[in-house]
Structure 1
């Protein structure tokens, strides 16, 4: 991902927020057979101070990706959307695309069966807690026994990245009146309105304006 100073994202707290709010990730490996990509949920390992991701893959993806033998790239993407040049009063002007994304890379640690079960339980709890009646992996003896039985079809992993490339492109290179015009359009009812992207722009520009 091409980087430039205006849009570089390095704040660990913001990177963690990106993962928490956008847990569906893309895994990419460069293997002996060529490029391989898969898609899995990720959560943060909150037992560690450094940014560390937990996930699992279904067999035989651990073989397809050759996990543990080389670097794995995990891509996490947040809200994004088209920004029309018709929204601001510059002439000439071109459209663009605003987005937030992070590339986490490193050699993943493969987890033991016991650690994998713990990660699976934490994954289920992480997503079920949003529901009015969460169904936990260990909620009943029957569910618990079933989880123990099928967990052998998965491989748990932990990725503590050795390289992070992240970008938060939210029109930081535009003057306030253009930023405000873009946010008005995102808050509207047009074809490219986006509440998620609007929220990201608000977070970025509220901080920028407060820091002046």
Structure 2
């Protein structure tokens, strides 16, 4: 990832990565290289240990997806997650000699993936995903609502667990902007309807100001 080694754009801590996963669970699972290279969009969930450390990503694939066979042959894969992002127009600045940019939140997870057709693993994964996504909804839906249809669905699913080897995350949120310019860019993005990106920018700016790091 282009900015991943620039410390200005690093996450403040693991909580930022977990927040990204919770808010934007739909990811690309990538198994690159070879004639059976595979690329699948799918929802992924974070698994943390008892101490709260991220240890794995969990999800599921259609059993007929060729990606399942690839993962059985070679479990090494990457998950690519894109969070809020937007074009940042220089037209919002008093100083029109500045160039436009792009602010974004993204992460890459290097994984060792194991797939399973065990009924308990499949039900556990589907139930956890539904519980996460239905949380707070009026009349929230659950697997039990499917009745007998659940067994037919589950028979075509493989559960997956990807042990996290490495995380590379970029939170490019205007950390390099002067205070005056930053305020103008925030206003421009808010006017463009980019509320989610604005919230991330404000959160990071607030922490920087508390630490005395913003000019």
TM-score by length of 1: 0.89
- Aligned CA RMSD, in angstroms, stands at 1.9
Q: Which residue of 2 aligns with 1:133?
A: 139
Structure-1 separation of matches of 2:151 and 2:130: 14
Say whether 1:102 aligns with 2:121: no
The SS at the match of 2:70 is coil
Distance in structure 2 (CA, Å) of the matches to 1:10 and 1:204: 8
How many residue pairs are counted as aligned between the two chains?
Answer: 206
After superposing on structure 2, the runs of 4+ consecutive aligned residues of structure 1 that deviate more than 6 Å are: none
**Distance between the aligned counterparts of 1:31 and 1:15, measured in 2?**
27
Q: 1:167 pairs with 150, 158, 170, which one?
A: 170
Q: Mark the CA change 1:129 to 1:91 in structure 2 (over 3 Å): closer, same or farther.
A: closer
**What is the CA–CA distance in structure 1 between the aligned matches of 2:35 and 2:185, rounded to whole Å?**
44
Deviation (angstroms), 1:185: 1.1
Displacement of 1:62: 5.2
For the 8 Å contact 2:86–2:194, the answer to whether it is kept is yes
Q: Which residue pairs with 1:83 in the alignment?
A: 88
**For residue 199 of structure 1, what is the aligned residue in structure 2?**
199
Q: Report the secondary structure of 1:208's partner residue.
A: helix
What are the ranges of 5 or more consecutive residues in structure 1 without an aligned counterpart? none
Instruction: Please say if residues 36 and 64 of structure 1, whose CA atoms lie closer than 8 Å, have aligned partners that are also in contact.
Output: no
| CA displacement, residues 50-102 of structure 1 (integer Å, 9 cap, x when unaligned) | 31211001122254661141311111111100000111233521111100000
Gaps of 5+ in 2: none
* Larger mean Cα displacement after TM superposition, 169-178 or 106-115: 106-115
Secondary structure of 1:174's partner?
A: coil
